[in-house]
Amino acid sequence: MLDTPTDPRMTNTIYGDSNSNVGNASNSYNTIIKVGTEEESLRIREWLSPLQPHKRHQDVKKSRFDGVGEWVLRRGEFESWYGSQAESVNATLLCFGGQGVGKTYIRYRCVLEEQGTMLTRSEISSLVIDTLRERARGQNIPVIFLYCDYQARKDQSAVNLIGSLVRQAAFRGPSIPSEIKSAFDQSKQEDGDGLQLHDMVKLFVNVLGSFDVVYLCVDAVDEVLPQNRLEFLRALRKIVQEAPNVRLFLTGRPHIRAEIDRLLTQGAYAIHIVADQGDITRYLRRKMDDNDKQDPGLMTEDLKNYIMKTMLEKASEM
């Protein structure tokens, strides 16, 4: 699904250390300039961040199973977070779960011995991103995201993570804010040095001012290296404080909840991801239906009932 083009005008935002300055903007608009060439556009994108979350999202999406995990979208915490207004006490939602059920793949590691099939649950982050995109279709509401990965920890510095968000927000059309082009040109004069984190955050908040609402989704935040995670969460706090139109969605393991409270925000909406028997039942029934179509005599009803009962029991023990 392609992001919806938006009004290219970007407002200047007044920065402050607390919510007292949230939402203050000048009446003038930043100058918007055309990127000179496609090559220059690619260089600016790479300069902002080398991360490629859209590629990861497509890879994750392919392994998702339709209908599984949608119970999260029906939770009151999700709907309260989704419908929160600028004056809401908290605009952050955390989905957290243990090793067996959390992070990018909220999964059950149960094997159907009779079929040799691994039961895999829908990835919550991918599901939420696509749901938000569908709801935002045709509106001035971007959905931008990150997939954190311990294997890629060397590239996932705080400045690269925020830079990836800037990149997604700024390159939604053929034009980019003049501040980004100016910062890039300045860096070329300084031997290509990248932006400092505080400058990247300032650019990001400035870009966000042109949108009605912005959804920021960060998957597996616990997989960012501790020293980088400290900077990253503090940067997110600054963004949420200075951009009242931001809604932040995070996933991670249970221990990250204390860090979110300490470094980002207290009292965030939270959903504990646990084994959901409705998901398991739905998955198994569809797999059995597929098997019946391929080989009608493969499984008896007694065998199907045994598999269903055994898998639900295993899941309840996780």
* The model's pTM: 0.72
- List the beta bridge partners of residue 62: none
Taking only the tens place, the pLDDT of each residue in 105-147 is: 333 333 333 333 333 333 789 999 999 999 999 999 999 999 9
Query: Which residues make beta-bridge pairs with 117?
Result: 112
State residue 206 phi and psi, 5-degree precision: -60, -45
Mean pLDDT on 148-172: 92
When mean pLDDT is compared over 45-49, 98-102, 162-166, the highest value belongs to 162-166
Q: What is the percent of the chain where pLDDT is above 90?
A: 40
List, in order of start, the domains of the chain with CATH numbers: 15-274 (3.40.50.300)
**CA pair distance 124, 96, nearest whole angstrom:** 10
pLDDT tens per residue, range 235-269: 999 999 999 999 999 999 889 999 999 999 888 99
Q: Out of 20-34, 75-89, 171-185, 274-288, pick the least confident.
A: 20-34
pLDDT at 183: 84
What was the pLDDT predicted at 70? Answer: 83
Q: Does residue 3 contact residue 179 with C-beta atoms inside 8 Å?
A: no
Distance from C-alpha of 300 to C-alpha of 24, rounded to nearest angstrom: 67
Dihedral sign for Cα atoms in the order 254, 255, 258, 264: negative
Rounded alpha-carbon distances, angstroms, from residue 175 to 42, 102, 138, 171, 259: 13, 38, 19, 7, 37
- 3 confidence band (pLDDT: 50, 70, 90): very low
User: pLDDT tens digit string along 172-184?
Assistant: 866 777 888 888 8
Interacting residues of 251 by C-beta distance below 8 A, sequence separation 6+: 94, 95, 96, 97, 102, 103, 104, 124, 125, 218, 219, 220, 221, 273
At residue 221, the pLDDT reads 94
What is the model's pLDDT at position 106?
A: 34
Q: Is the Cβ–Cβ distance between 162 and 201 less than 8 Å?
A: yes
Q: Which residues in 265-278 are b (16+ Cβ under 10 Å) and which e?
A: beebbbbebebbee
Question: pLDDT higher for 86 or 49?
Answer: 49
At 314, the pLDDT band (50, 70, 90 cuts) reads low
Other C-beta atoms lying within 10 Å of the C-beta of residue 134: 10
Give the number of other CB atoms < 10 A from CB of residue 130: 15
Average pLDDT of the chain is: 76
CB 208 within 8 A of CB 53: no
Angle at 211 between CA 77 and CA 178, to 5 degrees: 140
User: pLDDT tens-digit profile of 222-233?
Assistant: 999 999 999 999
Q: 102: part of which helix (H) or strand (E)?
A: none
Dihedral sign, Cα of residue 73, residue 56, residue 102, residue 90:
negative
The answer, yes or no, to whether residue 212 has pLDDT greater than 90, is yes
The candidate with the shortest Cα–Cα distance to 219, out of 45, 56, 8, is: 56
Question: Does residue 16 carry a pLDDT above 50?
Answer: no
Place 85 in a pLDDT band, splitting at 50, 70 and 90: low
